Amino acid sequence: MSATPLRIFGLCCGIAVIFVALARRRRLRNVDVILLLVLGAAVVVVSETNAADGLLRLFSFNRGGDRRIIGISVFAIVVLFGLALRATAATSRSDRQLSALVEGLAADQFASAGLPDRFAGKVAVLIPAYDEEEALPGVLAQVPEQVCGVPTATLVVDDGSRDNTAVVARASGAAVARHVANRGGGAALRTGYRLLSEAGARVVVTLDADGQHLPGEMERLVALVLDGGVDLAHGSRVLGHAAPSHFSRELGIAFFNRVVSLLTRTRVTDCSNGFRAVRASVLPRLVLRQEQFHSSEFVIEAIKRGVAAVEVPVTVVPRTHGHTKKPATMRYGLGFAGAILRAWLR
């Protein structure tokens, strides 16, 4: 069998993989070392022998016309795809563990500070915040002391801010739960929902920290939940009013509203709005996993779990200070689409 440049290259690659497995065996898990050794040995065998010919013929990749090389390439792609899936699963597992650690630390700090007692039986106002020291005081100042005759209490979940977000929140009288690392708005809300449902809050209202939602409008959301007719009142800028935005963003919102409505067979007019009031007792029923693109997930989960809901007209205004934390339009659209698909497939 002739030593062609391709065979020599394959032999070198196989040896390199084996060398990496042996050199890093103390840092890698045993299963990863075994996989690398098997992969490297397989590349060496395929490169230096005809051992793969039987398998290739079985799939009609006979010798001649570069069919053998094509066959080997196909099988290599399959193997690489499997390894990529395994790596993705491992990354997702590590990410979930990190989220659990960050959220657990926040919960321990919240409990040790005696903050749960503030929220028992009240309308809890939940505000996730990341680097919002300029806008947050103005938002907190507008939160009413009571809504529909029920006292309010505010929780700011500081999602690993690098500025004085937690300091200004406490100075304004809000309770603070802090993530030691930035995990995303969805993670911050998930932490807040857990803390407030366990603290015995009656209703949880979520507001953005950037001033785009008007705290004075929360009564129209909370009233519907307190009356007992629904468990979730979801704000809709489409039914209400929104300041003009970029054409691409408005087009994207309209498109994703149609997609969510089609997938859930329920009319949804604003799947990207985080202004909502929800009965705290239903929160444990929802499976929320999105770190960033969380609004659509909440809507889809509520529909799937049979949570009685209604959309309510609200106003969305431009942020008062700072800049948006959302990614660029294309990346945001892809991420939002992925979040919708994952929530629907669960």
pLDDT tens figures, 24-39: 887 777 877 787 788 7
**Residues whose CB falls within 8 Å of the CB of residue 186, separated by 6 or more in sequence, listed in order:** 288, 289, 290, 291, 292, 293, 294, 297
> Are 270 and 245 within 8 A, CB to CB?
no
Say what the pLDDT of residue 71 is.
Answer: 67
Asked if residue 2 has pLDDT above 60, the reply is no
Summarize pLDDT for 139-188 with one digit per residue, the tens: 999 999 999 999 999 999 999 999 999 999 999 999 999 999 999 999 99
Q: What is the pLDDT confidence band of residue 121, given thresholds at 50, 70 and 90?
A: very high
Asked if residues 225 and 279 have their Cβ atoms less than 8 Å apart, the reply is yes
61: left (phi over 0), alpha (psi -120 to 50) or beta: beta
Of the candidates 274, 99, 97, the residue with the CA atom closest to the CA atom of residue 184: 99
Q: Which segments of the chain belong to CATH 3.90.550.10?
A: 113-345
Which of 11-15, 148-152, 244-248, 338-342 shows the highest mean pLDDT?
148-152
- Global pTM value: 0.77
Q: What is the DSSP letter of 182?
A: -
Average pLDDT, the chain: 86
| Residue among 171, 192, 172, 198 at smallest CA distance from 274 | 192
pLDDT at residue 235 in the model:
95
Could you tell me which CATH number the domain at 113-345 has? 3.90.550.10
Q: State yes or no: pLDDT of 130 exceeds 80.
A: yes
pLDDT in tens, 222-250: 999 999 889 999 999 999 988 777 777 77
Per-residue model confidence as pLDDT tens digits over 273-323? 999 999 999 999 999 988 888 899 999 999 999 999 999 999 999 877 766
The model's pLDDT over 84-119, given as tens digits with 9 standing for 90+, comes to: 777 777 777 777 788 888 988 999 999 999 999 999
Q: What is the pLDDT of residue 301?
A: 94
- pLDDT value at position 322? 65
The H-or-E segment that residue 329 falls in is helix 329-345
pLDDT of residue 1 exceeding 60: no
* Contact present, 216 and 144 (Cβ < 8 Å): yes
User: What confidence score (pLDDT) does residue 59 get?
Assistant: 62
Tokens representing 279? Answer: 């009965």
Q: Which residues pair with 127 in a beta bridge?
A: 156
